Structure 1
Amino acid sequence: MTGQFEWSMWSIGLAVVTWSIVIGALVVIPFRRSPAAAQGWLLLFFFQPFAALALYFLIGDARHPKWRRERIKHVPGLVKRASQDIPGDVSDAAASLPPKSRTAARLVRSIGQLPCVAGNTISLDADYNRVVDRIAGDIEAARSHVHVMFYILQDDEAGNRLLSAMERAARRGVKCRLLIDAVGSANHRGAIMRRLAGTGVEVHLILPWRIWRRATRADLRNHRKIVVVDGLVGWVGSQNMHRMEYEPNTFYREVMARVTGPVVLELQSVFVGDWYLETDEDISNQDIMPWPEATEGKVRAQVLPSGPDHPDSGIDTLFTDLIHAAGDRVVLTTPYFIPNEPLSLALRTAVAKGVKVTLFMTATTNSFFIDHAQRSYYDELLYSGVEVMLYRERFLHAKHLSIDDDIALIGSANMDRRSFELNSEVTLVVYDAGVVRQLRRIEDDYRAKSRRLTIEEWEKRGFFTQLAENAMRLVSPLL
């Protein structure tokens, strides 16, 4: 009898705790979250309340810890000071843009603070190994400083080219600073730190995971890829610094932009802000923000930093706005596609208005969960008329968007919640028909190596495949 009573009390106690967790989740979870994200969390709390509670404490709040948020408050002023040397005659470039581009430029500046600037030269490069060689070559020519930031940096064939060039530059007296993400570069960060010790290259980890003093979040990462040489040459895009075959039998395809002109100073400003966040050191000064003696380029562009350090609005706001503004064509390339509702609606609405919308994606991702989650969005896209092209040759890791014939976005952001809310990203926004033509040639090559997914093929997938897609769809806002 006593045993039955104790068991009954344990059962009642467990039920009270379980329902307290669920009711608490109903109160807390919907606050300042999208309906989709709230739905994903609440489903998890209803089915696995204790596991959900532990997971929520780890990654539930898409904000940095308090100490980091306090430091972030200083970044806008620091970035503004770092970019204030850009002369007004080029920083007012948005005024001469066509209405659609001018509106976009105002939105980009509102989100990321950096203006549209004229006088740039921008070349796109989709040759993986050539990009590595060209970046190393630019570093070899450095005279003043080299600033490098990568989400993934490995001490392999590609990483060695970069690190060796930085080591040689440091021996010449060039000031070299390197930031690598502590989680993205986890496999090689120790070896890199040991290799660079005593070389003159100053290296810091971005957000090393800690659960005690100055705690950090493991899921809030810096996903940016930036190289700045002497404040005169910059690189930005999707490519990390590792060999092309990053995973066994998985060869990456990327797109990077090499930039010269005033927009390089905007990439420099982003690096200055990230360096401050990791070191509490303000490195902004006129030596690293040189104004080029002659701006031979004619391209108008601006840089958009986004992420938890810019919490008021994200890169998805720009994507959605530009798709709504498109009049003729939208081409979107991403390895990971888990859109929020506004972005998904924008794509469907564009098709309804007569805009040709093409989505290039890799045929198979490197994640079972993401692969099935993003497939769950194909149905509505295909039936609305979006052209879904599955790239077959390699793992298509490039991230870019072209709107009509005059706007191009190249950067580090995927089309998923992680890039929209959790990762620090950087995007180069270009208002130039010539750069769009460069991107079109790359997109044409994708098309030649892709197959179009048809509604007929899509409807033939099996029951268990559909079941996996639907299950992953429910939790896709958490991926």
Structure 2
Amino acid sequence: MDWSFGTALFILDWAIRLAALLWIPSRTSPAAARSWMRLLVGFVPLLGLPLYLLLGHPWLSRERVLRQARASDVIREEQRPLSALRWMPPGGAAAEMAPLIERQGAFMPTHGNAVQLLDDYDISLRALLDDIGAAKQQVHLLYYLMFDDAVGDAVTDALCAAVQRGVACRMLLDAVGAKRGLRRYRARLRAAGVDVHELLPGGLRWRRSGRMDLRNHRKIAVIDNVVGFVGSQNLASATFVPGHPNRELVARVQGPVVSHLEAVFASDWYIETGERLAVQPACDVQPPDVAAQLVPSGPAYPFENARDTVNALIHLARHRIVLTTPYFVPDDATLSALRIAALSGVDVQLVLSATNNQTLTAWAQQSYYEELLACGVKIALYRPHFLHAKHLTVDDDIALVGSINLDIRSFALNAEIGLVCYGPDVVSRIRAVEADYLAHADTVDAAAWRARPGWQRSREGIARLADSLM
């Protein structure tokens, strides 16, 4: 090697290391920064620094962040005259949670909502299609995944028929999650008059979006500003991943919270297209008068709203908390919250799926079991289906249902949505669903888990190194 070239390479190598030392820790959590510094930048700086710039920091374009801030300001302003709809927490955990959620996500808690829980995959889909079929004014759909299968066909048919009746139909689909659905249905939907846009597009447009692997993971439907759907179920058949038939939980809602779901859709529409949609400020109050509040989250917000909500709920639990998720790769704060709750005497039950469609995630997930079991957290693995539902219940007071997984991707990288319900009504109904999970689940035994072979421990540890990408 020529001496001058070698000197230049040596200087460049150390220049990248020093630049990374100054840049990465200021824009990344300490744990993630250490991983990037050790794994890539420290070993192969010429490769590591470009990879970090692409994947190391959950950045969005400045315009998208500004549009989210503007949308949140509009939401706060338009709620001010609606004091009659505001629910005032009587005390306890709700009195602490409601202000936190409102300050972060802009939505106040409202009374007068009706919440129907749909635990059957086909019934949930049928309810959505029936409501689209009955729409008179507008249909707004925002989904992470739309597959090119019988469900995609049915949804497309329903939207095309609605347009023919004079209904305004708009659709937002994630550019990656709904890639197959967009490829198959976009031209037909647009030709019929459905306004379709992809969220966070990649390719040559990625710099106008943000980090290449940021995704909009929400699942929302709003029909005529009267009925809304929010939960874990995508626009796909239950068996769209062979060998992993999904089990989901969806909330069909009526009441003031529907207009808040509409505002989330309008915000994402504005962020993606620059077009502002008119949102009706409220819906009619509905029996049985459930108090509810939305938790929107994602990298466009200044804080990690989903993570903060989940962790606050864990810390506020006094007797029992049940957490159901298909993907469990927590950050340090969530792991600490679970440990403290269990050691404080709270009955902490984690319900996971015995099968998983993400092998690397499953291995990383298993690396947390031993620590959790040691401090008293119970872990159940549901057998019959791939449990894709995402919800939690705290004591008899609070329930959270939505698209939020208990992993770093949902907390920091994805746009997510959660519906918080206050009071025993919804909690007791979700408890019945949780009881069914547990009746068909295997409990992870601490002693047996500690006896697992060393190669499995190594596999889990290596998979865990990629936690910030999962």
The TM-score with structure 2 as length reference comes to 0.95
**Range that drifts further, 357-366 or 155-164:** 155-164
Q: Which residue of 1 aligns with 2:385?
A: 394
Q: Which amino acid aligns with 1:52?
A: G
Identify which range, 166-175 or 34-43, moves more after superposition.
Answer: 34-43
Q: CA deviation at 1:389?
A: 0.7
Give 2:38's aligned residue.
43
Alignment gaps of 5+ in structure 1 = none
SS at match of 2:392: strand
- 1:80 and 2:80 aligned: no
Q: 2:10 pairs with 6, 10, 15, which one?
A: 15
Q: For structure 1, which segment, 65-74 or 120-129, has the greater mean C-alpha deviation from structure 2 after superposition?
A: 65-74
Query: 2:52: which partner in 1?
Result: 56
Q: In the TM superposition, what is the alpha-carbon distance from 1:299 to its structure 2 partner?
A: 0.5
Indicate whether 1:262 and 2:230 are aligned. no
SS at match of 2:192: coil
1:22, 1:457 → 2: CA distance? 44
- The match for 2:283 is 291
Deviations 1:237-294 (A, max 9, x none): 11111011121211111110010111111111111101111111111244xx4532x5
1:178 partner SS: strand
- The answer to whether the Cα contact below 8 Å between 2:263 and 2:279 also exists between their aligned partners in 1 is no
Aligned match of 1:151: 144
One-letter code of the match for 1:291?
Answer: C
The unaligned stretches of length 5 or more in structure 2 are none
In 2: Cα distance, 1:392 partner to 1:9 partner = 63
Which letter maps to 1:57?
A: L
Mapped to 2, the partners of 1:448 and 1:285 lie a distance apart of 43
Is the 1:261–1:297 Cα contact (8 Å) retained in structure 2? Answer: no
Q: State the one-letter code of the partner of 2:347.
A: K
User: Is the counterpart of residue 29 in structure 1 residue 32 in structure 2?
Assistant: no
Secondary structure at 1:366 match in 2: coil
Alignment counterpart, residue 308 of structure 2, candidates 313, 317, 337: 317
Matching residue of 1:383? 374
Residues 1:207 and 2:200 are matched in the alignment: yes
Closer, same or farther in 2 for the Cα pair 1:210/1:65, shift >3 Å?
A: farther
Cα deviation, 1:218-246, whole Å, max 9, x if unaligned, reads 21111100001111110001111101112
The residue type paired with residue 174 of structure 1 is: V
Asked if the contact 1:231–1:265 (Cα under 8 Å) also holds between the matched residues in 2, the reply is yes
String of CA shifts for 1:440-472, please: whole Å, max 9, x gaps: 111111111110111122122222111111122
Matches of 1:451 and 1:415 in 2, distance apart?
Answer: 20
Residue deviations 1:20-76 (CA, integer Å, cap 9, x gap): 222222221111432221122112222333332221121222120223233333221
CA distance in structure 1 between the aligned counterparts of 2:187 and 2:353, rounded to whole angstroms: 36
CA deviation after TM superposition for structure 1 residue 376, in Å = 1.1
Amino acid at match of 1:266: H
Counterpart residue type for residue 29 of structure 1 = I
Does the C-alpha gap of structure 1 residues 380 and 119 become closer, same or farther in structure 2, counting only changes over 3 Å?
same
Mapped to 2, the partners of 1:129 and 1:21 lie a distance apart of: 54
1:76-155 matches, within 5 Å, as: 76-80=72-76, 83=79, 87-91=82-86, 93=87, 95-155=88-148
Q: C-alpha offsets along residues 355-404 of structure 1, whole Å, 9 cap, x if unaligned?
A: 10010111232222211111111111010110011112111111111100
Summarize deviations over 1:304-336 as a string: whole Å, max 9, x none.
Answer: 111112123421111111111111001001111
CA distance in 1, matches of 2:268, 2:209: 17
2:431 alignment partner AA: R
CA contact (8 A) 2:392 2:400 kept: yes
What percentage of aligned pairs have identical amino acids? 40
Is the 1:121–1:261 Cα contact (8 Å) retained in structure 2?
A: yes
- The answer to whether 1:183 aligns with 2:179 is no
- Contact kept? 1:299, 1:430, Cα under 8 Å: yes
Q: Is the 8 A contact 1:83 1:269 kept in 2?
A: no
The aligned residue for residue 471 of structure 1 is 462
Aligned to 1:250, which of 244, 249, 273?
Answer: 244
Whole-angstrom distance in 2 between the partners of 1:99 and 1:267: 26
Q: CA RMSD in A?
A: 1.8
- Cα distance in 2, alignment partners of residues 166 and 223 from structure 1: 21
Q: After TM superposition, give the deviation of residue 191 of structure 1 in Å.
A: 1.5
Deviations 1:53-100 (A, max 9, x none): 221121222120223233333221233355556x31221x1x243321
Contact 2:367 2:460 in 1 (8 A): yes
Whole-angstrom CA distance in 2 between matches of 1:108 and 1:261: 19
Paired residue for 2:217? 223
- TM-score, length basis structure 1: 0.93
Letter in 2 for 1:189: L
Aligned residues, how many?
468
Name the SS for the 2:252 alignment partner: strand
